[in-house]
Chains A and B, each alone.
Chain A
């Protein structure tokens, strides 16, 4: 069973709104950098950077963060997950970082991402932007920018499908437990 939560137009609108909110809160794009969490967050960060460029006419630095090495569940997994590369081609010190992910759930991924960022430098501030906040937090973490708040049950699964991975843009809600979706 699968239900579409956001379609392609709705995703576009949500991202446009988030881009405006980021600019509003940070008084423009001067001090900010965007860091997408691999894999879904990277594509959303790229779209936000493009949107900000359209609005402000200025480009914003963008980085990619793989949080695997900072996960708190590695010891309990039979197989170590495949590592992807972290690529942050700028200095993080004293910057305002907008961390971007697709779904906010337990908060553990964001905890890992913040630890990862701290090892790379000392940012002035970290803000969080997510497309979907599905609740069920296990850590005291909240998002600064949310595309859509979506009440869910723990046995449901939220999937953000994007053109960049060869899918039609959409967010779907699926029934059934899947331990992989602990974003």
Chain B
């Protein structure tokens, strides 16, 4: 079987089998990444467009590298160079790009749902590289891949997601992916950052980090947008770090062999201490390596002929 879709927009709408296929495919690409010649001719002649309306060196670079390792031609368009500033609509921008025969468009946008506008209107495959506070499916998939690789599987693991779940598209994708693959998902954060109705997704909500971490197999820390300080979500970074910062003492409450993950970039001393971020439990850099393999898998699986 292959992916039953033209676009990858959200893990919420994917079947378990599709997620498993992507993870399995990514294993093959991880092998390619270990070779001396880290390039295969698979997407020769295809055009992949990175359309980024929000700054993100990390995700953009990862997609760019993935496309280049598959021998695709890659074009990067970012906000500063786009015509959006001139008042062109998102759809018009995308139609212009497609007129240049793009095959896959990777969209990062600050508005939730923006990739759906493109997916509906365009022939090109659309990959959501993060839309507003909605989803970031490739990050969710690389988190799943890393957990599966390290732990041998995902079903039955206790995974704790810590921090600003309300504004985090990474948390949303992680929760959907983890639930579909059978993990026991817990959230920990201040009530101001836990969105309404999220219990309906089958997750357990904790306001105290210590209580959530006990017996955890995986701890996923979310990035805290520093500009949220003083907006009523939490009083100060100092108090946030005190209540929700991950330090060695707190990690010790988790199971042996616990994985500590973070989508980056890290605010050292806020979400996590340097001791933990650089410690043995941390797989933060491996997440970055795996990101390329997972994104190669997505590009490969979406590169078939369009019906």
* Residues of A in contact with B (beta carbons under 8 Å apart): 66, 68-71, 74-87, 115-116, 119-121
Contact = CB atoms under 8 A, between A and B. Distances in A.
A77 B305 contact: yes
Contacts of B24: 82-83
Classify the interface of chain B: helix, strand, loop or mixed. loop
A115 B305 CA distance: 23
Nearest to A77: B304
B35 A120 contact: yes
B80 interface: no
Contact of B45 (A75, A78, A84, A85): A75
B40 A69 contact: yes
B270 to A, nearest CB: 40
A70 B41 contact: yes
Interface of B: 1-3, 21, 24-25, 27-29, 31-32, 35-37, 39-42, 45-46, 70, 300-305, 307
A76 B304 CA distance: 7
Given A79-B304, A82-B2, 19 more contacts: A69-B32, A69-B42, A69-B70, A70-B41, A74-B42, A75-B46, A77-B305, A78-B2, A80-B2, A80-B3, A80-B300, A80-B301, A82-B24, A83-B29, A83-B300, A86-B28, A86-B31, A119-B37, A119-B40
B97 to A, nearest CB: 20
A128 B40 CA distance: 22
5 contacts: A66-B28, A74-B42, A75-B46, A80-B304, A121-B36
Classify the interface of chain A: helix, strand, loop or mixed. loop
Contacts of A66: 28
B299 to A, nearest CB: 10
A168 to B, nearest CB: 28
Contacts of B36: 120-121
Contacts of A77: 304-305
A74 B300 CA distance: 9
Nearest to B28: A83
A82 B25 contact: yes
A70 B40 contact: yes
Contact of B28 (A75, A78, A85): A85
Contacts of B25: 82-83
Contacts of B303: 74-75, 80
A119 B3 CA distance: 28
Contacts of B2: 78-82
A76 B306 CA distance: 9
A79 to B, nearest CB: 3
A86 B40 CA distance: 12
